[in-house]
Amino acid sequence: MLNDAWTLAIETLSWMEMQKLSERLALARTIKQLRISNSNAVRLAHRLVCETDRRRNFIDKFVNNVLEPYVMDDFNLGVQAFLRLYVYQTRMAKNWHSINTKEAENIVKLARTILGWKTLHKVEPSFGLLLTQKPSSVLNDVSDEQRIGLLTFHPTWFVRYCFNLFGRKEAINMLEANVQPPPTYIRLNTLKANENETLRRLAEKGIRVKRVEELKHTYIVVGARQPLTKTRFFREGLFCLQDKASCFAAEAANPKPGTTVLDICAAPGAKTTYLVQLMQNRGEIYSIDYLRRRMDIWANEVARTGVKIATPIIVDARNPLPLKVEADVVVLDPPCTSTGAFRKLPSAKWRLTRRSIDKMAEIQWKMISNSAKNVKSGGALIYSTCSITVEENEMIIERFLKWHTEFSLVEITPKIGLSGLRGLEECQRLYPHTHQCNGFFIAKLLKE
């Protein structure tokens, strides 16, 4: 099992580096490539990959200090991946306090089996040094922003951005919260079963949950005996894995039974299925996304949860939508930098640059401009992202209101977040350190 897990982890990190893939997509590709199906090995590999990549900047600087005169980029991707995993498992997972030399020896033996001793020959002398090097060496001769970035595992540019936006103290609180894995939330699906009955059945199988009071059907998972996606209840569609912030966006849209809804950037389907649940499977919902692969996942989720009124449309929302539909509610959750979801997607931190924010904002502007055309008079447009930047959120809304004077901001219920920035008090923001969910922005615009 250990050999399979470490093989998966090394190959997954290599794919992530080579093709800038997310953890989940790279792991799925590696499982298919290597034909490893042992569920324990997959779970261990996923944990190793996520927790190693979460701390990547600190690990890389730590390793490069030991490798001198070499640097990690002098070696192939497999060796780089192993060095990162080795430092995480032997040092950081132990909080730097204890050194288990026997474990380290066994891990190196696994690496020789997986990568070959010739591949590792040049870096072999560094394995012992990596066990004894003090982590404080990484913080020598660095600026305050670099130090905070290393201690909270974020790029320096992002630390600087957060300092400017939130102030140093609040920014550090948020950055520190990103170090921990996110809590798990589920949304109970009343299209399939009565909520109280589902709660009873979950409790019988040792799945302990606690209600999120502000929302209708959302629960935080307190404990479970097995992975939730492996349970019979999940296969039957009795619940969906969905972050609290995403559930909030659907409830803010507040679609009524019998109405027409347009769900733009709908895949992988959690948003569509909750909108339909709130509509009690009555009315029409058109779900748009631009990749057939993503819409295949959407179709599976729609079928699993008992949705009957959703129509899939594969089209790129950056272009005018080929629809004559006038919707009561248009929900737009466009692609974003995911700066509010670094706890869930740690690899996103290392793919982004400061320019990524402005590039993404232009995509979002095209999408919201196109979406506005399908809102009927008296209808609502919901705009949300899992980003904490103002360029992708408040500044998009400010620009939109200048160009579309027929729209105005309205208050959002329920009120579970903090007010938007730049004076947009009707908008709401959620933060990882304050609300224990993805960082999130949401605006509701009414067409007069």
Q: Does the predicted model carry a pTM greater than 0.75?
A: yes
Interval 237-262: pLDDT, tens: 999 999 999 999 999 999 999 999 99
Give the per-residue pLDDT at 380.
98
Joined together, the tokens standing for residue 239 give 């619940």
pLDDT, tens only, 42-94: 999 999 999 999 999 999 999 999 998 999 999 999 999 999 999 999 999 99
Do domains 2-139 and 244-447 share one topology? The answer is no
Q: Clarify whether 386 is annotated catalytic.
A: yes
Q: What's CA 244's distance to the chain center, in Å?
A: 12
pLDDT at position 224 is 93
185-241: which CATH number, 3.30.1120.10, 1.20.120.1460, 3.30.70.1170, 3.30.470.20? 3.30.70.1170
Intra-chain end-to-end CA distance of the chain, in Å? 61
Q: 3-state class of 287 per DSSP? A: strand
pLDDT of residue 117: 86
Domain ranges for the chain: 2-139, 144-177, 185-241, 244-447
Angle at 92 between CA 387 and CA 35, to 5 degrees: 75
- For residue 1, what pLDDT is reported? 87
Q: Which of 162, 265, 386, 437 is catalytic?
A: 386
Structure-token pair, residue 442: 């949401």
pLDDT reported for residue 148: 98
Q: Is the dihedral of CA 62, 67, 68, 69 positive or negative?
A: negative
pLDDT, residue 238, reads 97
Ranges in the chain, pLDDT < 70 = none
Q: How far apart are CA 334 and CA 265, in angstroms?
A: 6
368, 416 contact by CB (below 8 A): no
Question: Strand 428-430 and strand 418-419: pairing?
Answer: antiparallel
Say if residue 69 is preceded by a cis peptide, omega within 30 of 0: yes
In the CATH scheme, what architecture does the domain 2-139 have?
A: Orthogonal Bundle (1.10)
Q: What's the chain's Rg over C-alpha atoms?
A: 23
CB atoms near residue 115 (< 10 Å): 18
Neighbours of 218 (CB within 10 A): 25
What pLDDT is stored for residue 97 in this prediction? 85
CATH 3.90.1150.10 fits 244-447, yes or no: no
